[in-house]
Every structure is written in C-alpha cells, then in structure tokens.
Structure 1
Amino acid sequence: MNLKRLITPKKLEIYLLSTGHLIHDIYTSFLSPVLPLLIEKFSLTYTLAAFLRLAMRIPSILNPFIGHIADGVGLKYFVALAPAITAIAMSLIGKAPNYLSIVILLIVAGLSSSFFHVPAPVILKRISGRKLGMSMSSFQIGGELARMIGPLIIVGAISLWDFAGIYRLMPLGIIISIILLLKLKDEKISLHRSKKYNFKETITKTLKQGKMLIFALLGVILIKSFTASVIAAFLPTYLTFKGYSLWMAGGALSILQAAAIIGVLLTGTISDMIGRKRLLIIVSFCSPLVMLLFLIGIKHALIPVVMLLGLISFSSTPVVLALIQENNFKYPSIANGIYMTISFLLSSFVVLFFGKISDMFGMEKAFFISGICSFIGLPLVFFIPGDKK
C-alpha cells in the first residue's frame, strides 16, 4: 500500500516540521536543567545565571530581518540546518571552560533557533487550510514535547557520561537536518520571491498595519513572561535549592512541559471554536492566579500545582501565532518576526529581573513578586481586535 495515499502531502509536511521543532527544541531545553550545575561550577549569582537565558535570546533582535529574508528570498536551507547547528552548540556546554564560552555557545544556538522558528509558521499557514489553529497546535506541541523530554534526556546523559560527556547527544540534530534538507530542497518557501522591497519600509508598514494587535499582545507577552518564562528558567534551580535532587528537579520540569502540551493542544483547537480573543482573555486572567498558587502548592502538592501551571500558563502561543497569521499581514514572516522579537526579549529581561530580585530578596519572594507583576499585562489583552469571520 502506498504511504502517500494514507498521508496527504500537507499532513506529511506538518508532521515533518513538528518533528523538526521537537528535535531542535530538545537541545534548547537543556539550559534550565543544567543551570544548577553551571551555578555551582562557576560560582554564579542568580543574575549571571539569568543572563545566560538572555544570551540565548539576544539573536532574536534579528527576527524581523530574518522574516524579511524569508518573505523576499526564502530560508528553507536555514530551517533545515538549524537543528544541527543548535545541537552542536548546546551539546558543547558541558565542555565549556568558562562563563564567556557558555555565553558564546548560547548566542550561536539562539541565532540558529531564530532561523528555524521565524519562517516555520508562515509555511504552516500555506498548508493548513481552515485548520490553522490545529496546525499551529501541532507545531507547538513539537516544541512543548521537546521541553518535556529534553530535561530527562540531559539529566540522563549527565548521569551516564557526566556533564562534560553530553557532546555525545549531537547526532540526533544532525540526522533531522539531513532529512529536512532532503524534503525541503524542492519546496518553495518564499511568499514574495521575485519582488524586491525595502526592509525599513516593510517593517514600518507591518507595524502600522498591526499596531493595535501588537499593542494588545504586549499584555499576553508580559503575563507569560512573569509566569511561564520565569518558571521554565528557574524551576530546577529552585527545587535543587529546596533540597531536591537534579533528577527530581528535571522531572518536575518535564511534568510542567507535559501539562503544557495538553494546554497547547486544547487552546489551539478550542480557539478555532470560541475565538482567539476570548480564549486569550481566559488564559491571561488565570495565569497570574496559578502562579501565586504555585508558592502555596509547592509545599504541599508539588506535582498537581506544577501540572496546573503548565496547563494554563504556557498555552497561549499557538493562539497568538494563529491570530497573527489571520491578520492578513502583507509580510507575514516579518509580522511573526516582530512578535517573536518582542516576546523573546521581553521574557528574557523579565527573567533577568527575576534573577536580580532573587539575589536581593531570595528566590521564594522573587516568585511572589513575579506573580504580582504578571497582572500588569491583563488590561492590554482586552484590546485584542475581534476575531475575523
């Protein structure tokens, strides 16, 4: 029986991109679980530890430019090669001799990540039909699943080979890059291949076209930054500080991401039915409350509260991506790049702020302050434009 008769070409492409997302993000998920080891090895403050996350996000400044290239030239080879580059950079962290070398490796991984994540949603829009929310959920599940199993993979590798031996994890990323290259070499990713246009002008037009949407999404980004981003960055460190083993800390992070997968799957599909705006308002209202509940539940019911936090606080991404693509931007990759730039940078600076507050007052108080600050973004969410019919 012919496999192509069982799986349509569009579904095959969606599954391949989601698998590439899965394997790529397995490597970027290594940072949080190994953060306690890096803090101990190099005697880092929480602020310096938080800066490592910022280092990985610094290349996101280039996201609009990458989106410009994606719309005007096409980035299929960058999308295909990104998992291999990220795998090499992240697998060498255990061999890094000093703090600066870790920063450089993370910047390389961050740049590679941008070249994968910016064009991918645009490709999905072209192959998804009316089920854009479901396709975005499928793609996002790849990333969330990576962040679920990634901590277990890196902790297991450290137990097996020690921290310096994690370079042996490189091959998986290289293999998926080869597969993506073979699949995408004949695909046309560009939306405006033959048309030349001014980069500054396209940025200006995109910002003008989507100014209300971008303004409103700042609220969603702020809430997610003070909740999901902070938890994802420092949960293993906090648990090891509380006396849990590295295995337990990594396991809790995996449970968090497992719950996030369910949340991502549900929100993308539910938003197809009840509307993107209504769903984002519900999620944005619940996330700060669950963040504050985390401080109470961690003492008495760690696993349930971590699951609830993952289910709610991480679930907005596919809805936001679908909302951006449905806004009918003239240059959709640039619009997606602008959103990702704001999201990555804002979340990274929030995590850096969290690290500084942790150095000043302790991590437990920092979590409480972060939960209170997340309410700041709630009023902005109500300015999200109504769903397009």
Structure 2
Amino acid sequence: MTQATATLPAKSNKDSGVAYRVLGAISVSHLLNDMMQSVLLALYPVLKGNFSLSFAQIGVITLAFQFSSSLLQPLIGAFTDRRPKPYSLPIGMGFTLIGLLLLSQAWNFASIVVAATLIGMGSSVFHPESSRVARMASAGQHGLAQSIFQVGGNIGSSLGPLLVALIIVPFGQGSVAWVSLAALAAMLILIRVSRWYAANLNTVRGRSTLGRTETGLSRRQVQAALGILLVLVFSKYFYLAGLNSYLTFYLMQRFALSVQNAQYCLFVFLFAVAVGTVVGGPVGDRIGRKRVIWGSIVGTAPFALLLPYANLFWTIALVFVIGLIIASAFSAILVYAQELVPGKTGMISGLFFGLAFGMAGVGAAALGSLADATSIEFVYQVCSFLPLLGLTAFMLPERHPKKAAA
C-alpha cells in the first residue's frame, strides 16, 4: 500500500473533477480482491492432485464461489442504492480473509467448497459498492472510471497464477495463508475509501453522479436492451469460464506442459485481459459503448474458432489476442446498462457482476462435466462458437444520455 493511498483524505478532490486518487485506491483494492480470488482458480491443479478431484468437482468449487457472489450481489446493490453502507467495503473483505485462511488448511472437498463460498461472499459485497464509488469519482467520465476500476481487478486476476507458480506450488497449500495478508491490506485501503465515500454521498458530486438521468428510451426498449446485454454477458463469461478454469489442464494435456509452465501461460491470458480492460471504457466514452461492445465480442470470434487447432506457440498467441479483445467489452456493457436504468447503480452493477460470476460458475460446472464425459480438447471446440452470440449487439439502441434538470 502506497503512502498516498494510506493518507487518502475525505475531501481531496474538487466536485467538478475526476477523483483519480479515489479511483486509484479502489482499483488497488480491486487488484487485491481479484488476485485473492484468482489464487483459488489457479490452485485447481494443486487441489486436484492433493484430493484426487474430478473435473466435475472442480466445476462445483467454481460454482460455489461464483454463486455465493452472483446471487447476493444484485440484492446487496439494490439495498445500498436505497441505504448506502460505505463501511460495508472493509467488512466484506473480512469474509475473503476468513475464506483464504480456511482454504490454506482445507482437509477435504467439502471444506474447499466452504472456503470458496466465503471468498465469493466477500466479492458480493465489494463489487456493487465499489462500482458506486467509481461512478461517484468519475465526474461524468463513467467509462474511464469503470476501466480504471476494472483494470485493477484484471491485473489482480493475472497475478494469481504467478503466486501459485512461484509460492504455492513449491511450498504447498498451507502457503495460501500468506496471501490473506493482501486481504488485510485491502481492508486498510477500503477504510480510507469508505470515509471519502461517506463524506461525499450528499454533496453535489454524489447527487449528480448517482442520480437519475433522462434515457430517451421507452420501457420496452430498455427491457429489450437489457435482455441483449444479458445474452452478451452469457456469451462472454461462459466462454471465459473455459479459459479461466481449464486452460492449464488443456495445455498440460495437449502439449504436456508442467503445472508451472501452464500457470505462466494462464498469466499471459489474464494479463491480456487486464490490458484490454484499460481500452474499453475510455474508447466507449469517445465513440459510443455499442460500437465497443459488438466490436469486442464479435471480434473475438475468428480467433476463438482457430484456437482448438493451433500449436503451442499459436495457442499462447491466440489466447493473448482473445483476452485483449474480449476484455474491452465489460466496462462498456456495465456503463451502458447503468445508463439504461439511472439511479440504480448498485443494483445494476450487482446484477451484471453477479450474472458474470454466475455464468462463469455455471459454465465451469457444465464444461467440467463435459470434459469428464468427452475430453478437454472437445470442450474447447464447443466453446469456440460462443463469441458468435455477440452478433446480437447490433440490435442495441444508440445511447446519448442527458442529465435531468435539477
């Protein structure tokens, strides 16, 4: 944690400007949060070996983790839209801390599932409220703010495999306890963020960025657009579930890589996701979110279709390109959805983060069962067609929201 973050003042930014220090702090918190979550995913080969788990059981672990956050996030978001709870951020991180400590000492499959559930519960509190903080700090540059917030999470996700490769694989499952120190650091940062959040809720900044805007769309158009966005989230995260949960197994089985080398390849993919996230939000602010959404998801399709037939070099190159392109969509999708339902930032953020995690959980469980029944190579052949669902993005209406009169 940097000195600047540790001394974050409650009113260090003018109401008219982007609160970059707050965005930086919440992005660092997101980095730590998602790094801890990705340790669980990257730990799968170790857990599979230690407890003789099947691919279906790996899918159940992912399902427990994703559903404990996805089911709770929209409810927490809807509640905090009505009654904001700034200090829920460090409290939620406490669930992650407990889950990591339990994971480090897990003795059977059931205890792993409980640990995964606790880690997911921490995420269920973090994402809706931190999205509200990012929007409040944006000063109208919502795509930029979401990208800064999201890139922290993506960088954190990319660090998980490195921690597993460099620390947990050599020193064993018990070394996961050291990762829990990141949860303590995140709690300290979030206490400072919570003070700024509480101090600005009822200021001009808070009322203008979290208030209502005129959408210019009918209720039916809003509902149809939300439905299309949900299809896009399904396409994106069901496909990503195959890469996040099973890429290491795919590389180990098809190319006979070691666990460590497979983890490094997973890092390449997750790092590309982090880079792509930086682009999507600001570009959406400039050229329109619809163009970013369809360009991102549909643009992934040709590379996804090639992936199952590539050699090792081109597999690594393709997963990098896929991560780079597909990652630019989520910030644009989330901000687009927030503008469709103004004044419900927490609920929409919780719904879409929750749906993303839920789709990843369902995808991991379904693809794990399919891999057990067929092969991991067949799973990648089936998944390669999912990005084609991105064609539905062409039906999204153009959005040019205007602030409602005070």
1:232 aligns with 2:241: no
Distance 1:22 1:361, change over 3 A: same
The answer (yes or no) to whether the contact 1:24–1:82 under 8 Å persists in 2 is no
Instruction: Note the alpha carbon deviations across 1:119-143, whole angstroms, 9 max, x for none.
Output: 2112211221232111111111100
Aligned-partner residue type, residue 361 of structure 2: S
The answer (yes or no) to whether the contact 1:30–1:90 under 8 Å persists in 2 is no
The answer (yes or no) to whether the contact 2:238–2:359 under 8 Å persists in 1 is no
Number of aligned residue pairs: give it.
373
The answer (yes or no) to whether the contact 1:36–1:240 under 8 Å persists in 2 is no
1:111 aligns with 2:121: yes
* Larger deviation, residues 143-152 vs 157-166: 157-166
Distance 1:183 1:341, change over 3 A: closer
Instruction: Note the alpha carbon deviations across 1:281-313, whole angstroms, 9 max, x for none.
Output: 111212232222222234342331121121112
Partner Cα distance (1:160, 1:39) in 2? 16
Partner Cα distance (1:40, 1:184) in 2? 41
Aligned-partner residue type, residue 325 of structure 2: I
Aligned-partner residue type, residue 63 of structure 2: L
1:171 aligns with 2:181: yes
Correspondent of 2:137 among 124, 127, 130: 127
Displacement, 1:275? 0.7
Distance 1:289 1:352, change over 3 A: farther
Partner Cα distance (1:225, 1:127) in 2? 27
Partner Cα distance (1:190, 1:352) in 2? 42
The answer (yes or no) to whether the contact 1:32–1:234 under 8 Å persists in 2 is no
Aligned-partner residue type, residue 302 of structure 1: T
1:78 aligns with 2:88: yes
1:386 aligns with 2:395: no
Instruction: Note the alpha carbon deviations across 1:188-228, whole angstroms, 9 max, x for none.
Output: 28969xxxxxxxxxxxxxx9784122201122112212322
Partner Cα distance (2:131, 2:45) in 1? 33
Q: Write the mapping of 1:27-46 to structure 2, written as runs, cut at 5 A.
A: 27-46=36-55
What RMSD over aligned residues (CA atoms) do the two structures have, in Å? Answer: 2.5
Displacement, 1:73? 2.1
1:246 aligns with 2:255: no
User: 1:199 — aligned with what?
Assistant: none
Identity level (%): 23
Partner Cα distance (1:34, 1:330) in 2? 39
User: 1:213 — aligned with what?
Assistant: 225
Q: Could you state the TM-score of these two structures normalised by the residue count of structure 2?
A: 0.85
1:367 aligns with 2:376: no
Question: Which blocks of at least 5 consecutive residues in structure 2 are unaligned?
Answer: 203-218, 402-406
Displacement, 1:159? 4.1
* Larger deviation, residues 107-116 vs 127-136: 127-136
Q: Write the mapping of 1:272-283 to structure 2, written as runs, cut at 5 A.
A: 272-283=285-296
1:223 aligns with 2:220: no
Partner Cα distance (1:208, 1:21) in 2? 35
Partner Cα distance (1:61, 1:81) in 2? 18
Q: Write the mapping of 1:1-389 to structure 2, written as runs, cut at 5 A.
A: 8=13, 10-59=19-68, 60-185=70-195, 187-188=197-198, 210-242=222-254, 243-375=256-388, 377-389=389-401
Partner Cα distance (2:8, 2:184) in 1? 26
Partner Cα distance (2:382, 2:296) in 1? 20
The answer (yes or no) to whether the contact 2:133–2:197 under 8 Å persists in 1 is no
Aligned-partner residue type, residue 382 of structure 1: F
Displacement, 1:379? 4.0
The answer (yes or no) to whether the contact 1:227–1:291 under 8 Å persists in 2 is no
Distance 1:186 1:33, change over 3 A: closer
Partner Cα distance (2:100, 2:251) in 1? 23
* Larger deviation, residues 96-105 vs 69-78: 69-78
Aligned-partner residue type, residue 31 of structure 2: L
The answer (yes or no) to whether the contact 1:227–1:288 under 8 Å persists in 2 is no
The answer (yes or no) to whether the contact 1:122–1:325 under 8 Å persists in 2 is no
Partner Cα distance (1:82, 1:371) in 2? 36
Aligned-partner residue type, residue 239 of structure 1: L
Partner Cα distance (2:356, 2:158) in 1? 21
SS class of match (1:76): coil
Displacement, 1:8? 4.1
Provide runs of 4+ in structure 1 moved above 6 Å: 2-5, 189-192
SS class of match (1:388): coil
Displacement, 1:186? 5.5
Displacement, 1:255? 0.9
Partner Cα distance (2:343, 2:181) in 1? 39
Instruction: Note the alpha carbon deviations across 1:132-176, whole angstroms, 9 max, x for none.
Output: 111111111100100111211122222452222321222221122
Question: Which blocks of at least 5 consecutive residues in structure 1 are unaligned?
Answer: 193-206
Displacement, 1:26? 0.7
Distance 1:189 1:147, change over 3 A: farther
